Amino acid sequence: MNKGRGGNSGGPWGKGPSAPPPPSNDDFDAIIRRSQEKFRDFVPGGGNRKLIGLVALAAVGLWLASGIYRVEPEEQGVVLRFGQYDRTTEPGLRYHLPSPIETVFTPPVTRVQRIEIGYRTYGGSGTGREQSVPEEGLMLTGDENIIDITFNVQWKIKDAKNFLFNLRNPELTVRDVAESVMREVIGKRPLTSALTGGKQDIEDENKALLQATLDSYKAGIQIDRVTLLRADPPSAVIESFRDVQAAKADQERSINEAQAYANEILPRARGEAERVLQEAEAYRAEVTNRAEGDASRFKAIYTEYSQAKDITRKRLYLETLEETMKGMDKVILGEGGAGVVPYMALPEIKKRQGGQQ
């Protein structure tokens, strides 16, 4: 069964020579003449024409049978007629005109393939040894820092025709485009974004831009996933970078502690200031009210005084004496030296009665 250069060659641009040019009528005539001459040489003296016919018929049958081919479930068949695309066939047992009229390629359209960028794995995935490729992984960030990145791209064929005819080396194309797109994405971001929480955003943006670029090439490739494996400073400066990061962490912690202290002390100070303001306001209201009351009382006294000056003057004098001499022992003398005027000291009597009780 003829599978052309098949799924392992990468299509008409594979490692082997490209598809043969369309043969001319002269080429067919020459092939037939050479075949007849070989048969004459094989059968001495011209031979038996019937035997020659049987041999020729068998050769033609084998040649026609060589066009039978199988397309596996994970493949698509791409049939070329004289080197030009003719049709696409689905999985199953198929037939194409024998070579050199038609040839077929069967690329694996459902197989997920992986491209490693910034590193290579030797000895098998999971158990192999990884080797760094600095010329691919070292990139410049948006704030002009150098970062060492390793990532892989998982892809598969979505259009076998475009995949075979529009790409000479699909794996190299995906690798170069993925590296270029990653440099563009990283070049727009600061170093801290790539090192900390921006991993998912970088992967999503890289996948979208990579797919758009390959679609513009009509590459016939579907990007399944972009996985960012590692994003670190270059190994030569990683210790210094860690010191800088530790200093930044200390700075951030000090700022947070200061902010926490400010959040604690400021409300307390505001509360104290509000209390002082309220006390001052209460004192102002008390003093103002007392002053207004004194003024009102003075005005009332003045009004009474203006109406009866002698009586008011005497009443004020007596009230002042009463206030001044309150709680004092008192002796009342008569006018003109008449002696002590007897009086009943009711307050003292009440005091004695209160003490006896």
So where are the chain's domains?
25-105, 113-232, 236-311
Pair of tokens at residue 300: 């009332």
E-assigned strands of the chain?
68-71, 77-81, 84-89, 92-95, 102-105, 113-117, 119-122, 129-132, 138-140, 146-157, 221-232
Residue 339 has a pLDDT of: 58
Cβ neighbours of residue 227 closer than 8 Å, sequence gap 6 or more = 151, 152, 153, 154, 203
CB under 8 Å to 246, separation ≥6 — which residues? none
For 148-154, what is the mean pLDDT? 93
Closest C-alpha to 91, from 74, 107, 67 = 74
> Above pLDDT 70, what percent of the chain?
76
In one letter, which amino acid is 58? A
Query: Which of the two residues, 6 and 275, has the higher pLDDT score?
Result: 275
Over its C-alpha atoms, the chain yields an Rg (Å, rounded) of 55
Mean pLDDT of 88-93: 84
pLDDT tens column, 190-216: 888 887 778 889 999 999 999 999 999
Interatomic CA distance for residues 86 and 94, integer angstroms = 14
154 or 34: which carries more pLDDT confidence?
154
Report long-range pairs for 187-191 (Cβ below 8 Å, ≥24 apart): 187/139, 187/140, 187/141, 187/142, 188/142, 189/141, 189/142, 190/141, 190/142, 190/143, 190/145, 191/141, 191/143, 191/145, 191/147, 191/233
Determine the Cα–Cα distance for residues 189 and 198; give it in Å rounded to an integer. 9
Domain 113-232 CATH class label: alpha beta
Residue range 280-304, pLDDT digits in tens: 999 999 999 989 888 888 888 778 7
